Structure 1
Amino acid sequence: MRAEEKNILYRANLTSAPIWLIAMTLEYFIFDLAGHSPWWTAWLAACYGGVALRMGMSWLGLKKKTTLVHSLMIGSLVLCGSLFALPVLFVHPLSDPHMMFLIALVLSIATSGAHTLALSRIGLLFWVVPSFGSFIFRMATMPVELYPAYTMDLRVAMIIGCVLYGSLLILLGLGSARRIRHTQDLQESLKQANRENRRRAREAEAATSAKSDFLAMMSHEIRTPLNGVLGMAQALSQENLGERQRDQVETIIESGKSLMGILNDVLDISKIEAGKMEIDRAHGDLHQTLGSVHSLFQPIAHDRKIGLTLTLEDTLPQHARFDPVRVRQCLTNLMSNAVKFTREGEVAITAWAEPATPGLRLGEGAEAIVKVQVRDTGIGMDEEAMERLFKTFSQADGSTTRNFGGTGLGLAISRRLSRMMGGDIIAESKPGEGSIFTLTFTATIEAAANDAEDMQAETETSGGEALRVLVVDDIAVNRQVVRVFLEPAGYRVTEAADGAAALECLEGDSFDVVLLDIHMPVMDGYETIARIRASDASWATIPVIALTADAMAGDREKLLARGMDAYVSKPIDRRDLLRQLSVMERKSGQQNPSRQKLTGTA
C-alpha cells in the first residue's frame, strides 16, 4: 500500500472511530438489560481498547510511516471487527425486537466499516464477514420452539439476503478502493506533469537566458568591428575626396548601416519574444516623425524613378505623446518594402487620426488612434503570400530574398510593435496591383513643446573650447575612431587601454569628460565607474559617457544606474557622440555659469 493510501486509511479511522464507539455503547446497553452486565462490561472494555489502539496507530501512522505501525493498525481493525461480532454469536436475545435492533445495528456499522476500510482488504473482510457470519449462524441455529414465527423459508430468505448484502458491501468497498487508487494515480500523474512542466519551464528560462546572453555577446562582438568600419568611413567622408572616392565611401557607410539594420532586427525580435521590449511613450512631433521617414526614402525613390508623396490630413495632431522611435521603425519597415517592391508608379503615405472613443473631440489630452497608410503600385501579393506575410523569417515566396533581399523580420517586428502601442498593421493586396499597409497606434494629443533644451540637444558643439576628453577602450581601433571624430571638432583626446590606466590618467592630469568602454581586461567599465564615483578626489563627479557595444534592452538604464551620465552605443554615430558631449557641456555650464567648459578638477 502506498504512503498516500495509508494516510487516507489512517485519517478515515480517526474520523469514524467515534461512530463505532457510540454503536458499541448502544449495543452494551441493549444487552445489559438482559442481565449480562459482567460479561458485557468486559466486552465493552475490550472494544474501547481496540478502538483506542486503532486511533493510536492511525495517529502514529500519520507521523511515522513504519511497517510495524501499519501492521498494528491492520491488527486493530481485525480485533475490532471480531469483537463487534461476538454479541450475535454468544448472546441469546429475549425477544424479536432486540434481535432486529441488533441486526440493524450490526449491518449499519458493517456498512460504515465497508466504506471506511476500503483500502484494507484484510480489515474489510474481518469487519464484514464476522458480522454477517454471526448473524447467519444465529439464523441457522435458532431454536424453533422459542421462535416458531421464524419458519425455515423465512430463515433461508434472511440468510440469502444477508449473504447478498454482505457481498454487496465487500464489492462496494473494493470498488471504493479502486476509485481511491485511480484518483491517487491521477493525482500522481498530475504531480508528475506539474514537475515536468516546472522542469521544462526552468529549462526554457535557462534557454531564454542563454539566448539573451548569446545575443548580447554576439551584438557586442559584431558591433565592435563594425564600429571601426563605420567610424573610419564616416571620418573619411569628411575629407576632401573625389566624386568617385566619395561614392565608394558612401557605399561602405550604407552597407554598414544595412548590416546594422539586420542586427537590430534580430535583436528586436529576440527581445520581443523574451518579453523585454518596452514602449517608451514621450512627447514627440508626429509631423516631423513622418516627414523624416519620407525624406529618408526620397533619394531612393528618385533613383528608382518612382513617385513618393506624403499627405498629412487636418485631423492629424502635430504634437502628441507616443513612441517616436518605434513608430519610425514600423513606418521605415513599411516604406522599405513599398519602395523595394515597386518598379514603377508611386508610393504614397497618408496619415490621419481618429478619436479612440467614438464621438469625442480630438483635443489636447484626448486619446487618438493614429493611422498611417502606405500605398504602393508594386508587385502585390496573393492570399497565400498574405498568410505568411507577418510570420517571422518569412517572405512572400522563395525568390523574394534572391530578387529583393531582406530577412523577413521587418513586418513581423512591426506588427508586434504596433500591437504593443495599442494598434496593429493591416495589409491589403492583389497580385500586380500593389499593396496597402495601414499602421495604427495610440497617441495622447499634447500642446506644442516649449523645451529649448531638447531643441539645443540636437545641435553640435562648435569645438572651439578645446575640451579634454579621456577615451578608455581596450581596442585601439575604437580609440582611433573616437579620435578622428573629436579632434576635428576641437577636442583634445587622451587614450587609455583599460580602467586601471584611466584612473592613473585622472590622478595625473585634469580632464573634462570621460568616454568609458564597459568590457575591458584588467579593470572593466563597471569597476572603473564605481571607483571614480567613490573617490575622494576632485574628479569624482567628472561627467562619464558610456561608450559600449551593449545595446540590448535595459543596458542603457543599467549603465545610468551605475553612475554613467550618458550612453552612446557602438557603432558610434559621429553626430550622436558630439551631441552628447554638447549636452554635457551645456548642463555643466548651467550648474556653474562662470565656467566656460567642462572640468574634472575643482
Structure 2
Amino acid sequence: MSSSLFITIVVCLIVITVVVLATTRHTKVLKKRLIESERTRKRTRNSLDHLMRHSSDFLFKYNRAGEVISASPNVRRLLGFPLKEPVPIRNIVTNSPVNHQLYKHMRQVFETGRVRNEPYFIEIKDSWDNKHILEVFEVVNKNSEGYIKNVTGIARDVTDQYNAELELKQSENKQLTIIKALPDAIFTIDREIRYVDYTVQNEEELWFKPSHFIGKKVADVVPEPMGSIFTAYIEKVFETGELQRIEYSFRQKGQEQFYEGRIIKLDEQFVMVISRPITAQKQVEVELRKAAKAAESAAQAKSNFLATMSHEIRTPMNGVIGMTNLLAETELTEDQKEYVETIKASGETLLRIINDILDYSKIESGKLQVDESVLSLKKLVDDSASLIMYEAKRKNLAINTIFEEDTPEFVISDRGRLRQILLNLLSNAVKFTESGGVTVFVSSESQSDKSIILNFKVQDTGIGIPQDKLNFLFKEFSQADSSHTRKFGGTGLGLAIVKNLVKLLNGKVSVESQVGVGSEFSFTVVARMVNESNLRVIRSKAGEEENEDKKDWVISQDYPLKVLVAEDNTINSKLTSIFLERMGLSADFAISGEEVVSMCREANYDVVLMDVAMPGMDGYEATQVLKQAGSEAAPYIIGVSANAFKEDIKRALDLGMDDYLSKPIKFEELREKMIVAGQKKFPVVP
C-alpha cells in the first residue's frame, strides 16, 4: 500500500469520525431542544388550562359543519356541560334576534378565510336553561396547504353588561317617548347661550318656529328685556347647578301669551329649558282673584251688616234688660215678679242668640281669640247655671253642680268662652228635658305645676238622641230632628259654636246619649294653673267682696266726678242716668258728637260716656277732636257701643278712648269703669 493511499484512507476515516461525532452531537442538541420545547409546551398548556379554569372566558373550536369540536375545560363550570364531542352549534344557541346572522357569518369565514377585527355577539343557553350573551373573537386555523381546518373562538360572558345597556336604552327610549308626548317645548342650550337642539309637538301649528332658533343666541331670538333676563338665568344655572324658574310672556295677535320656563343643568356644556304655556292658568288665576275679591267684599259686607245688626239689636236690648233689672229691684206682687222674671229670661235668651250669631261670624272669619284671666271655677259654673235657672224652675227641673276633690279653686282661662260653652250645653239640656234634672260635673283629667286639663260633663234626663243622629249634632244649622226647630226652637248654631270654642281652648267635645234616658255632653279644656302667691291675693279679694255691703254703691264721696253722657237713645240715656244716680253722681246729656265737643269746651267734664254711633259727628270723631289738644284737662272717655267685636274695641282705644263698655250695660261693670276713671282724676296723695 502506497503511502498516498494510506494517507487518503486516514483522512477519510478522520472526516467520517468528525462527521459522525458532529451528527451525534447535533442529534443530542436537537433531542434536547425537542425535550425542552415539549416541556415548554406542557407548561404553557398547563398555565393556559389553569388560567381558563379560573376565568369567565373560554376557548372553543368549530368546524366547517358548524359543530363545536373542542372547548377549554372551564366550559363545564360555566355552562354546566362539557364539549368533548362534536356538538352542533344550533343545539347551544337560542332563537334570539342576536343570532340571526350567526350561520351566515360562519359560512363566510370558511369561504374567505377572513375573520372580523371586532367581536361579534351570540346568545346561548346553559344546562340550567339560563341565557348568556357571549362576546366572541375568532382566529382561523389552516394546514400547511392553506386549507382552513377549523376556527378558534375566544368567548367572554357579557350578559350583565348587555342587560344593563339594554335597560339603559329602554329607559332612554321611554324618556324620549315621554318627552315627545309632553306639550312643552324643550330646548338644549350650550355654554355660548346658543340653541343646539329642541323637541316640540307639531311645530307647524306653533306661532313660533323652534327649528329657526338652532345656532342662534338666546338674546338674538328672545326680545329685550326678556333676552337679557333669560341669558342671566341660564348663566346662573351653569354656575350654581340649581334649577331656575321664570315666568314670561309674549304678545301674539294682540293677545298676551304666558309661559313658565324651567332651566335645568344637564352637564358642564349644556342646559335644558322646558317652556310650558300657562295662559289658561293665568286666566284662571285672574278669575280666582276676582272671585276672592268679591268674596272679601261679601265678607266685609256681611261683617258690616252683622255689626250694624248687633248695634241695632243691642241698643234696645240695653234698655230692656237694664230696665227689667231695675224693675225687679222694686216692690212687686208675686204675679208681677213672675212677669219680670219672664221678661228678663227672654231678654237673656235673645242676647245669647245674638251672641251665637256674632260668634259664628267670628268663627267663619277666623277672628275668634282667647282672652285669658284668673277665674273661679265654682263661680263660673254657678253663674252659668243661674242664667237658666228660671226656665229650669218653670219646668220643675233640678240643677246640680258637682266638683271633684282634685279640681282647683282658681285657674287661668277665657272666662267668657267657658261660660258660653256651659250656657249653650245647659240651655240645651233644660230645653230638651221635661222631668228630672241637669247635673254639671267638673273634674281634673290631668295636671302639672303649670297647666291642667279640665273635664266638664253636662248630664240630663231628657228625651235623648238617636245614635244615627249623633254625627250631625255639631254641624252648623242642624238639629237631631228638624221637627225640633218648631217644637223647641233654636238657631242650630249652639253646638257648632261649642265645638269651635272647645277647639279654641285646646280641648275636645263628645256626646253619649240614649233615647228616653238622657244625654251627656263632655268637653275638656286646657287651662293654666295659678301660683300660690297669686292664690292668696285672690282669696283675700274674694273675702273682701263677700263682706262688702252690696247696697253701698255710692262712689261720689271718694270720686266727685262731673259726667257727660253722649247718647242719642232716650231709653238708654234714662237707664244710664239711673245707674249714675245709684253711684251718687249726676250727669249732663248730649245727643251728637258736635254737641259733646261744644259742651266739653264750655265746661270741664271729668268723664264722658261716649256713644260710638251718633248722628252727624260720631263718637270716634268727637274723641279725636277732644284728644287732639293734648290737654291734661281732657276728659276721661269711656266708649259705649253695641258693637261687641274685638276690633271695634281696639279701634276705639287706638283713636284715643280710655276705656270701653259693650251694651247692654251692666251696673256693676259701669261702676267699676267709673271707679277707674275716679282714680285717674282723683289719685290718692300719700
Fold in common (TM above 0.5): yes
SS of equivalent residue, structure 1 residue 436: strand
Matches within 5 A, 1:237-316: 237-316=328-407
Distance 1:581 1:537 in 2: 21
Distance 1:392 1:15 in 2: 64
TM-score (norm 2): 0.58
Q: Which amino acid aligns with 1:462?
A: V
SS of equivalent residue, structure 2 residue 646: coil
Give the match for residue 87 of structure 2: none
In structure 2, the CA distance between the partners of 1:391 and 1:264, relative to structure 1 (3 Å rule), is: same
In structure 2, the CA distance between the partners of 1:563 and 1:455, relative to structure 1 (3 Å rule), is: farther
Aligned with residue 485 of structure 1, among 579, 585, 594 = 579
Deviation at 1:414, TM superposition (A): 0.7
Deviation at 1:469, TM superposition (A): 1.4
Aligned with residue 673 of structure 2, among 580, 584, 591 = 580
Q: Deviations over 1:454-507 (max 9, x none)?
A: 998997742443532100123333322211322243211100111221122222
Distance 2:222 2:300 in 1: 43
Q: Which amino acid aligns with 1:414?
A: V
Give the match for residue 571 of structure 1: 664
In structure 2, the CA distance between the partners of 1:244 and 1:10, relative to structure 1 (3 Å rule), is: same
Matches within 5 A, 1:330-479: 330-355=421-446, 362-365=447-450, 367-447=451-531, 448=535, 450=537, 461-465=553-557, 467-479=561-573
Distance 2:213 2:495 in 1: 75
Distance 2:391 2:622 in 1: 45
Deviation at 1:260, TM superposition (A): 1.2
Q: Does 1:562 align with 2:655?
A: yes
* Count of residues in correspondence between the two structures: 437
Deviation at 1:11, TM superposition (A): 8.3
TM-score (norm 1): 0.66
In structure 2, the CA distance between the partners of 1:17 and 1:409, relative to structure 1 (3 Å rule), is: closer
In structure 2, the CA distance between the partners of 1:184 and 1:520, relative to structure 1 (3 Å rule), is: same
Q: Does 1:531 align with 2:634?
A: no
Give the match for residue 206 of structure 2: none
Q: Does 1:495 align with 2:589?
A: yes
Q: Deviations over 1:157-187 (max 9, x none)?
A: xxxxxxxxxxxxxxxxxxxxxxx99x745x3
Give the match for residue 41 of structure 1: none
Distance 2:359 2:195 in 1: 68
Deviation at 1:252, TM superposition (A): 2.4
SS of equivalent residue, structure 2 residue 302: helix
Give the match for residue 202 of structure 1: 293
Higher RCO (CA-CA < 8 Å; seq separation 6+): 1
Distance 1:497 1:219 in 2: 20
Distance 1:351 1:235 in 2: 34
Deviation at 1:232, TM superposition (A): 3.3
Moved more, 492-501 or 233-242: 233-242
Moved more, 259-268 or 517-526: 517-526
In structure 2, the CA distance between the partners of 1:539 and 1:249, relative to structure 1 (3 Å rule), is: farther
Deviation at 1:15, TM superposition (A): 6.2
Of Structure 1 and Structure 2, the greater strand share is in: 2
In structure 2, the CA distance between the partners of 1:52 and 1:518, relative to structure 1 (3 Å rule), is: closer
Give the match for residue 507 of structure 1: 601
Distance 1:587 1:453 in 2: 21
Matches within 5 A, 1:4-153: 17=194, 55=216, 59-63=219-223
Deviation at 1:509, TM superposition (A): 2.1
Q: Which amino acid aligns with 1:354?
A: E
Give the match for residue 145 of structure 1: none
Deviation at 1:197, TM superposition (A): 2.8
Give the match for residue 147 of structure 1: none
Q: Deviations over 1:338-396 (max 9, x none)?
A: 111111222221111122xxxxxx3432x221100111111001123212211111111
Deviation at 1:244, TM superposition (A): 3.0
1:461–1:582 Cα contact (<8 Å) kept: no
In structure 2, the CA distance between the partners of 1:453 and 1:472, relative to structure 1 (3 Å rule), is: farther
Deviation at 1:592, TM superposition (A): 3.5
Give the match for residue 283 of structure 2: 192
Distance 1:294 1:260 in 2: 16
Aligned with residue 547 of structure 1, among 640, 654, 661 = 640
2:188–2:195 Cα contact (<8 Å) kept: no
Deviation at 1:538, TM superposition (A): 4.7
Distance 1:18 1:514 in 2: 77
Deviation at 1:208, TM superposition (A): 1.5
1:320–1:444 Cα contact (<8 Å) kept: yes
Q: Does 1:229 align with 2:229?
A: no
In structure 2, the CA distance between the partners of 1:385 and 1:12, relative to structure 1 (3 Å rule), is: same
- Mind listing any 5+ residue stretches in structure 1 that lack a counterpart? 21-49, 70-179, 356-361, 595-602
1:381–1:430 Cα contact (<8 Å) kept: yes
Deviation at 1:241, TM superposition (A): 3.6
User: RMSD of the TM alignment (CA)?
Assistant: 3.4
Distance 2:517 2:449 in 1: 40
Q: Which has the larger radius of gyration?
A: 2
Moved more, 232-241 or 568-577: 232-241
Of Structure 1 and Structure 2, the greater helix share is in: 1
Distance 1:552 1:18 in 2: 62
Distance 2:543 2:627 in 1: 30
Distance 1:202 1:455 in 2: 55
Distance 2:647 2:542 in 1: 23
Q: Which amino acid aligns with 1:401?
A: T
User: Percent identity over the alignment?
Assistant: 35
Distance 2:544 2:303 in 1: 36
Q: Which amino acid aligns with 2:309?
A: M
1:518–1:524 Cα contact (<8 Å) kept: yes
Distance 2:599 2:523 in 1: 52
- Mind listing any 5+ residue stretches in structure 2 that lack a counterpart? 1-181, 198-210, 228-272
Distance 2:411 2:582 in 1: 38
2:445–2:452 Cα contact (<8 Å) kept: yes
In structure 2, the CA distance between the partners of 1:226 and 1:307, relative to structure 1 (3 Å rule), is: closer
Deviation at 1:407, TM superposition (A): 1.2
Distance 1:335 1:423 in 2: 18
